[in-house]
């Protein structure tokens, strides 16, 4: 019994010691991620990130050291911030395993597998895949569609990788900022007044069901688009009654690596 109590106390101590400011990840993205296109998208300096890989691995080890029991003792915002940062950090690590010899994250998959189904890291006490983190943890445990603007798949078509870590005491505001940036990116989301059509990212086709009544969107993705009409409009904002019956068209997704070396547009 004494041993059991000692182990339990030890686990609580480790849980309390976990740094929910995610300062290691924050410093890394501050140094190796830059905003582009006026701040609605970002690109990653994977070359310099690779030179700093030991620091990244230290952070990843800290994430992996968190047990399931420790995780379950946290608040909802602590859990969600942890999972978002973990997804983004392990995605960067996956890219660095082959960088610079790849043009897309999809190059890391095989004929019968995808990079998101590779079990290459440990989280919450077990070997995990990126798909597990996104679809079996984040989307199951939280009714929060804004996460689709926060998790980053290392691709040009993906919402921006933030230059700050997600942290519990700022999480709501950070998710709203990520949402606003993505919806203001006219290369990925816009309202075409001439065609009376919402031309939007296929993310809303893949995960549109997440914008539902339980998550605060009883009108689904159409209601969500209407709430961002000002950001989506390429000219004068149309009267809402003219947009209610607008068509929805899903644009092509750009799977090219979101690598700074491929771009001259930085901000």
Tokens of 260: 């700074």
Given this model, what pLDDT does residue 261 score? 86
Closest CA to 88 of 162, 14, 30, 175: 162
CA distance 90 to 60: 7
Tokens of 242: 């003219």
User: How many residues would you count in the chain?
Assistant: 267
Band of residue 6 on the pLDDT scale cut at 50, 70, 90: very low
Cβ 56 vs Cβ 28: under 8 Å: yes
| 3-state SS, residue 190 | strand
Band of residue 110 on the pLDDT scale cut at 50, 70, 90: confident
Given this model, what pLDDT does residue 242 score? 87
* Mean pLDDT on 44-56: 98
List, in sequence order, every residue forming a beta bridge with 249; answer none if it has no partner. 199
- CA angle (107, 111, 114) in 5-degree steps: 55
Given this model, what pLDDT does residue 109 score? 83
CB atoms within 10 A of CB 231: 20
pLDDT tens-digit series, residues 149-167:
999 999 999 999 999 999 9
């Amino acid at each position: 019994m004494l041993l059991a109590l000692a182990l339990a106390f030890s686990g609580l101590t480790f849980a309390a010691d976990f740094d929910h400011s995610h300062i290691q990840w924050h410093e890394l993205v501050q140094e190796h991620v830059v905003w582009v296109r006026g701040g609605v998208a970002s690109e990653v300096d994977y070359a310099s990130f690779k030179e700093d890989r030991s620091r990244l691995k230290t952070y990843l080890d800290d994430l992996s050291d968190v047990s399931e029991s420790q995780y379950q003792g946290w608040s909802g915002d602590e859990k969600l911030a942890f999972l978002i940062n973990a997804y983004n950090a392990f995605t960067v690590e996956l890219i660095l395993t082959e960088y610079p010899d790849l043009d897309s994250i999809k190059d890391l998959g095989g004929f019968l597998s995808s990079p998101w189904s590779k079990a290459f890291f440990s989280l919450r006490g077990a070997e995990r895949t990126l798909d597990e983190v996104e679809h079996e943890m984040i989307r199951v445990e939280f009714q929060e569609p804004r996460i689709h603007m926060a998790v980053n798949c290392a691709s040009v078509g993906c919402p921006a990788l933030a230059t700050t870590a997600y942290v519990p005491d700022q999480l709501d505001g950070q998710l709203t900022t990520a949402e606003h940036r993505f919806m203001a990116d006219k290369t990925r989301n816009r309202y075409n007044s001439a065609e009376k059509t919402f031309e939007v990212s296929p993310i809303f086709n893949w995960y549109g069901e997440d914008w539902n009544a339980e998550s605060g969107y009883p009108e689904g993705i159409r209601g969500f688009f209407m709430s961002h009409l000002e950001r989506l409009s390429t000219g004068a904002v149309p009267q809402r009654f003219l947009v209610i019956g607008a068509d929805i068209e899903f644009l092509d997704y750009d799977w090219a690596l979101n690598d700074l070396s491929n771009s001259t547009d930085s901000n």
